[in-house]
Amino acid sequence: MTRLVVVGNGMVGARFTADLLAADVAGRYRVTQFGAESSQAYNRVLLSDVVSGTRDLGSIMMPQLAHARLETSLGSTVCEIDREDRVVVTADGRRTRYDQLVLATGAAARVPDLKGLGTAGEPPRGVRTLRTIDDARGLAAASMNSRSAVVLGAGVLGLEIAAGLARRGVPVTLVHPAPTMMERQLDEASAGVLADAVLGLRIGLRQGATASGIVADEDGIRQVVLSDGERLPCDLLVIAAGAIPSVALARRAGLVIDRGVVVTAGLASVNDPRIFAIGDCAQPPSGSLGLLAQGWSQARALVAHLTGTTVPADSVGTDDVVRLKAPGLDVVTMGICGTRRPDLPGHRALTVADSGAGRHIELVIHRGRLVGATCIGAGPIAAQLLTTYTQRTPLPLDPLALLLDRSAYDLGSAAREEPEDLCRCNSVTRARVLDAVATGAHTVDEIANQTRAGTGCGGCRDELERLLSRGDADAATVKSL
């Protein structure tokens, strides 16, 4: 029996354990899992929906796995790893031995150094981040009474929060240090179209602006001060300035840390093969994207490695798709796109710049496959591009066709001219029906008796009625045309 300890009960940690116990049919592993939050696992991706009020908290709770070989400790923070004795120590002093250890400690909100925020202790009232379920609960509650909010950071999370608060009717200003928003995913042109859409939601925008400090009193935050001196009055400040891998525990244990816990392609710590790291706290050779899909594929890969099995993929999705879940903003990026698009020879970019319509689409094509795309305001086209990208299915000869819907097609010479039957269920042509009318059929039933038209699904009976109402003479005329 291998004693496996998992530190972290978030989306990646919980998923890892569920997959491991399912794959470990031989029963080789006994798992102890620690979760620092007292809540059961929840779907972190959906926290911003709670903020926007499009769903309630109860609907994001994840299953708490029950298993004979699993012990789960919630509200239990691991504060020390003793690598020599192979023990983890929790805050209450409990020691748990491990043969193998998996770190899935995730990440914490990055809080920039702001004057007036203080470095220790509680921040002033009204200053929040969004990382945990408690954060979401608190932020949703705070938005009820807020008369003015500032969101710091216009990345994916910041945009979702800003749009969510706007949806709740809170006046919002979005402050972003870079000249354009979502700069990890979007180039300047597409970010500009998105900025227009943000302004359309009545969200104030300060791009290329850094917050330098805050002003607070006993009631909480009053102002955000920008480095150019502008002061934004607010009673709510949400900091969405990225995340920092939670590696303090690993660092204390002497594991090699860079941004995250440095791991091999096999997800083992480079200086302790008994310790693995997955999810946001890990830094694999290929780099961390900070996206859930990557964490889930790491969990699957590690389970496969530990159990020597193949863990079936469950269509998690591809690691590098970003889709904004912000009410009123339609943004999807995938693969090589925007600022991540290298000007490599052989990579072809096809761009539809339609800022007037709030639309910007760019396709990146390499060797006849879609290797990346940016979709702003693209509507249902984005959904089709997603499967084209994730499945690597063949592209049209002219990839521009990817952006067309069926109404844009004139099948012309590509399709053989097939005379459409008036009654398809019984292969009855219009000419045959008109014949029947000309030879004395006066009702739909009489037409049916003569031709069988209208006797299948019945869908053409209206058409038969119309045809009859025009009168036999007209029908005969139509026929002669």
User: What is the contact surface with another protein in residues (CB under 8 A)?
Assistant: 42-43, 45-46, 49, 54-56, 58-64, 312-315, 317-318, 321, 323, 325, 379-380, 382-384, 386-388, 390-397, 401, 406, 409, 411, 413-416, 424-427, 452, 455-459
- Residue 335 per-residue DSSP state: E
By the 8 A CB rule, do 261 and 281 touch? yes
Smallest distance from another protein to CB 50, Å? 10
Q: Of 94 and 392, which has the nearer Cβ to another protein?
A: 392
Smallest distance from another protein to CB 135, Å? 18
15: helix, coil or strand?
helix
DSSP string, 116-148: TT-SSSPPPTTEEE-SSHHHHHHHHHHHHH-S-
Smallest distance from another protein to CB 423, Å? 9
Q: Of 406 and 466, which has the nearer Cβ to another protein?
A: 406
Evaluate the CA torsion angle 276, 277, 279, 284 in order and state its sign.
negative
Residue 139: C-alpha distances to residues 67, 120, 368 (Å): 34, 21, 46
Q: Of 83 and 452, which has the nearer Cβ to another protein?
A: 452
Q: Of 266 and 394, which has the nearer Cβ to another protein?
A: 394
Can you tell me the distance from the alpha carbon of 186 to that of 333, in angstroms, rounded to the nearest whole number?
A: 8
Q: Of 128 and 325, which has the nearer Cβ to another protein?
A: 325
By the 8 A CB rule, do 475 and 437 touch? yes
Smallest distance from another protein to CB 377, Å? 13
Can you tell me the distance from the alpha carbon of 41 to that of 62, in angstroms, rounded to the nearest whole number?
A: 5
Smallest distance from another protein to CB 446, Å? 14
Smallest distance from another protein to CB 123, Å? 30
Q: Of 62 and 352, which has the nearer Cβ to another protein?
A: 62
Q: Of 319 and 472, which has the nearer Cβ to another protein?
A: 319
Q: Is 27 left (phi over 0), alpha (psi -120 to 50) or beta?
A: left
By the 8 A CB rule, do 442 and 468 touch? yes
Smallest distance from another protein to CB 411, Å? 6
Instruction: Give the other-Cβ count within 10 Å of 328's Cβ.
Output: 16
Q: Which residue has the tokens 């500009």?
A: 192
Structure token pair of residue 319: 């690691």
